[in-house]
């Protein structure tokens, strides 16, 4: 892709006509939208094959043997890594590259940087998955994959935290400093939350690198020991993904759901409680950890005012009208996840309850939020397209909710030995969830395949052409 940046760089050396400015800007936007679609498409492939397919395979094996430990931990961890880093992580990087420079009014990023981060991240996550499912050369591949993932993130972080562009200063000069200060204040809380989430991701990747090097030198197999894995899971879910979702919720939900203004400081308290919970889990203090995580999510919901009467009607144009309900359902799942964590920490041999808590968080909260918000924002980000089908969106969200309900309940009943018949519901839940993620992927791929509406030229350029 060298042609486009070169043209843009050359074009800044002389004054451009309005038509040239329009053409350069719109070519850049198109290139960036294509790159976003590449990131999202890559995330969807990770979600479908290395993620969901392997997850379903694992669950079918577990339910047929009626034993949670009948599947190799390396396969389970490969599935988890593909979902968390391959699917949601790739989505976050793509959306971040696309939206943060615009929101911060930065100079346009060099597209080569976005490509480089995509290449390093995709190869890193793929190698990690391969070293789990097929332990060929895993001692070398594991640390290499961790280094590649960290390098991709550092490129991303350096790019989106760079200096703001000239446009802000120009705006400030013309419209008065108050406007700049006001916008900065408006951005502050959600930006701080996204920064906290980025720190969580950085810590996750550093711990992942340390653990990979340790395993490669000392380990007997590529999987993390169960005790460490459980703590690491808290870091990669509550410590990074959940906080990103809060940040994007604070930015978008007041607009999309017509909510009353965010209680910004309260949201920052929620992040502090959540971080304390993650730290407590990492030091092995599980009971305190889950209580803090529950307090954090309840505080976050209060700060977002999700369950208060809205100030304005929700904006559901282009998505299914049930969108606001599913966003609220997702947050209820996060509370359920934390509450199940408290139960699991209080009783011995609670493998099934921990599994149900993890599933309520990853599928109930995270996947539902990605399904709901993703289908709301991604069509517009990918060149002002329209979502292919709002009905498919609804069916996918409904199936995901039903599948998750069945899975969370049957995992507790079967794994904890409360009801033997629940072993046979597990495969049903897996197939329902797999159908949901497949429909979600079809809807997004079909949206990207649609022709975007053509951009209309600005009035001044049309006049200058005549
Ligand atoms: C069709 C949907 C899915 C199925 C059938 C599935 C299946 C499984 C199974 C069988 C396990 C092993 C632990 C247990 O028995 O509970 C597991 C663990 C896990 N899953 Fe899933 N899963 C699905 C979706 C997801 C999604 C959407 C995410 C993340 C967004 C996810 C993240 C994880 C993680 C992080 C683990 C723990 C890995 C570890 O122990 O290191 N799963 N999943």
For ligand 1, the distance from its centroid to the CA atom of residue 79, given in whole angstroms, is 6
**What percentage of the chain has pLDDT greater than the value 90?**
78
Which value, in Å, is the radius of gyration of the alpha carbons in the chain?
23
| Nearest partner of 53 among 397, 441, 444, 466, judged by Cα | 441
Q: Quick check: is 105 in a domain?
A: yes
| 76 Cβ inside 6 Å of ligand 1 | yes
For ligand 1, the distance from its centroid to the CA atom of residue 80, given in whole angstroms, is 6
| 430 Cβ inside 6 Å of ligand 1 | yes
Whole-angstrom Cα distance, residue 14 to residue 31? 23
Whole-angstrom Cα distance, residue 93 to residue 152? 9
Q: To test the ligand 1 pocket, which listed residue (62, 68, 80) has its Cβ within 8 A of the most ligand atoms?
A: 80
Q: Measuring from atom 30 of ligand 1, which residue has the nearest CA? A: 362
Whole-angstrom Cα distance, residue 164 to residue 170? 11
Q: Quick check: is 162 in a domain?
A: yes
Find all residues with CB under 8 Å of 213, minimum gap 6, and list them: 143, 146
Q: Measuring from atom 27 of ligand 1, which residue has the nearest CA? A: 363
Instruction: For residue 187, name the pLDDT band (cuts at 50, 70, 90).
Output: low
C-alpha angle 367-449-459 in degrees, rounded to nearest 5 = 110
For ligand 1, the distance from its centroid to the CA atom of residue 90, given in whole angstroms, is 18
Instruction: State which ligand 1 atom lies nearest to the alpha carbon of 87.
Output: 30
C-alpha angle 431-391-252 in degrees, rounded to nearest 5 = 95
Structural domain containing residue 58:
28-166
Alpha-helix runs per DSSP H in 347-422: 351-359, 368-381, 390-415
Instruction: For residue 165, name the pLDDT band (cuts at 50, 70, 90).
Output: low
Q: Quick check: is 104 in a domain?
A: yes
Residue where the block lists tokens 């203004």: 261
Instruction: For residue 464, name the pLDDT band (cuts at 50, 70, 90).
Output: very low
Q: Quick check: is 433 in a domain?
A: no
| 410 Cβ inside 6 Å of ligand 1 | no
Burial (Cβ within 10 Å: 0-12, 13-18, ≥19) of residue 463 = exposed
For ligand 1, the distance from its centroid to the CA atom of residue 51, given in whole angstroms, is 8
Let me know: does 234 contact 227? Beta carbons within 8 Å: no
Q: To test the ligand 1 pocket, which listed residue (56, 59, 62, 334) has its Cβ within 8 A of the most ligand atoms?
A: 59
For ligand 1, the distance from its centroid to the CA atom of residue 58, given in whole angstroms, is 9
Higher pLDDT, 388 or 456: 388
Q: Quick check: is 208 in a domain?
A: no
Say which DSSP state 260 is in.
P
pLDDT mean over 305-320: 96
Whole-angstrom Cα distance, residue 49 to residue 55? 9
Q: Measuring from atom 19 of ligand 1, which residue has the nearest CA? A: 80
Whole-angstrom Cα distance, residue 204 to residue 149? 11
For ligand 1, the distance from its centroid to the CA atom of residue 13, given in whole angstroms, is 52
Q: Measuring from atom 36 of ligand 1, which residue has the nearest CA? A: 80
- Beta bridge partner(s), residue 106: 164
For ligand 1, the distance from its centroid to the CA atom of residue 463, given in whole angstroms, is 58
Q: Quick check: is 113 in a domain?
A: yes
Phi-psi region of 16 (alpha: psi -120 to 50; beta: other; left: phi over 0): beta
For ligand 1, the distance from its centroid to the CA atom of residue 68, given in whole angstroms, is 12
Higher pLDDT, 30 or 297: 297
Q: To test the ligand 1 pocket, which listed residue (49, 83, 410) has its Cβ within 8 A of the most ligand atoms?
A: 83
Instruction: For residue 196, name the pLDDT band (cuts at 50, 70, 90).
Output: very high
Q: Quick check: is 391 in a domain?
A: no
For ligand 1, the distance from its centroid to the CA atom of residue 83, given in whole angstroms, is 8
pLDDT per residue as tens digits for the range 2-57: 444 444 444 455 666 777 777 777 787 888 899 999 999 999 999 999 999 999 99
The pLDDT of residue 396 is 98
Q: Quick check: is 321 in a domain?
A: no
| 368 Cβ inside 6 Å of ligand 1 | no
**pLDDT higher than threshold 90 for residue 179:** no
For ligand 1, the distance from its centroid to the CA atom of residue 53, given in whole angstroms, is 11
Find all residues with CB under 8 Å of 10, minimum gap 6, and list them: none
Whole-angstrom Cα distance, residue 117 to residue 205? 15
| 82 Cβ inside 6 Å of ligand 1 | no
For ligand 1, the distance from its centroid to the CA atom of residue 364, given in whole angstroms, is 12
Structurally, how many domains does the chain consist of? 1
| 58 Cβ inside 6 Å of ligand 1 | yes
Instruction: For residue 459, name the pLDDT band (cuts at 50, 70, 90).
Output: low
| 52 Cβ inside 6 Å of ligand 1 | yes
**pLDDT higher than threshold 90 for residue 403:** yes
pLDDT per residue as tens digits for the range 244-287: 999 999 999 999 999 999 999 999 999 999 999 999 999 999 99
Alpha-helix runs per DSSP H in 283-350: 286-304, 323-346
| 436 Cβ inside 6 Å of ligand 1 | no
The pLDDT of residue 447 is 97
H or E segment and range at residue 388: none
φ, ψ (nearest 5 deg) of residue 348: -75, 165
């Amino acid at each position: 892709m060298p042609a486009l940046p070169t043209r843009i760089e050359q074009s800044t050396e002389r004054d451009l006509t309005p038509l040239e400015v329009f053409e350069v800007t719109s070519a850049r936007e198109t290139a960036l939208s294509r790159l976003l679609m590449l990131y999202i498409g890559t995330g969807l492939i990770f979600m479908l094959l290395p993620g969901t397919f392997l997850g379903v395979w694992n669950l079918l094996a577990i339910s047929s043997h009626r034993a949670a430990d009948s599947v190799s931990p390396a396969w389970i961890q490969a599935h988890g890594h593909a979902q968390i880093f391959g699917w949601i992580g790739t989505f976050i990087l793509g959306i971040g590259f696309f939206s943060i420079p615009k929101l911060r009014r930065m100079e346009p990023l060099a597209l080569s940087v976005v490509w480089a981060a995509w290449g390093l991240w995709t190869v890193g996550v793929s190698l990690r998955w391969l070293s789990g499912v097929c332990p060929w050369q895993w001692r070398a591949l594991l640390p290499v994959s961790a280094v590649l993932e960290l390098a991709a993130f550092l490129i991303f972080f350096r790019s989106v935290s760079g200096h703001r562009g000239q446009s802000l200063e120009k705006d400030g000069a013309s419209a008065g400093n108050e406007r700049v200060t006001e916008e900065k204040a408006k951005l502050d809380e959600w930006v701080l939350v996204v920064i906290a989430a980025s720190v969580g991701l950085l810590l996750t990747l550093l711990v992942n690198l340390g653990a990979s090097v340790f395993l490669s030198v000392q380990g007997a197999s590529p999987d993390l020991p169960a005790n460490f894995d459980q703590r690491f899971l808290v870091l990669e879910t509550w410590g990074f993904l959940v906080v990103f979702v809060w940040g994007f919720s604070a930015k978008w939900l007041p607009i999309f759901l017509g909510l009353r203004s965010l209680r910004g400081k309260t949201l920052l308290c929620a992040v502090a409680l959540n971080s304390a919970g993650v730290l407590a889990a990492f030091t092995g203090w599980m009971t305190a950890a889950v209580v803090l995580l529950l307090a954090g999510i309840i505080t976050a919901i209060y700060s977002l005012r999700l369950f208060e009467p809205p100030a304005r009607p929700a904006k559901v144009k282009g998505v299914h009208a049930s969108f606001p309900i599913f966003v609220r359902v997702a947050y209820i799942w996060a509370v359920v996840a934390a509450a199940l964590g408290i139960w699991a920490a209080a009783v011995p041999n609670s493998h099934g309850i921990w599994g149900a808590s993890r599933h309520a968080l990853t599928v109930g909260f995270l996947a539902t939020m990605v399904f709901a918000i993703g289908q709301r924002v991604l069509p517009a980000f990918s060149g002002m397209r329209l979502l292919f089908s709002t009905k498919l969106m609804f069916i996918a969200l409904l199936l995901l909710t039903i599948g998750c309900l069945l899975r969370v309940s049957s995992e507790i009943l079967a794994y904890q030995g409360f009801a033997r018949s629940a072993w046979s519901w597990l495969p049903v839940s897996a197939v329902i969830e797999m159908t949901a993620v497949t429909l979600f992927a079809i809807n997004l791929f079909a949206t990207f395949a649609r022709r975007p509406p053509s951009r209309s030229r600005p009035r001044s350029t049309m006049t200058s052409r005549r």
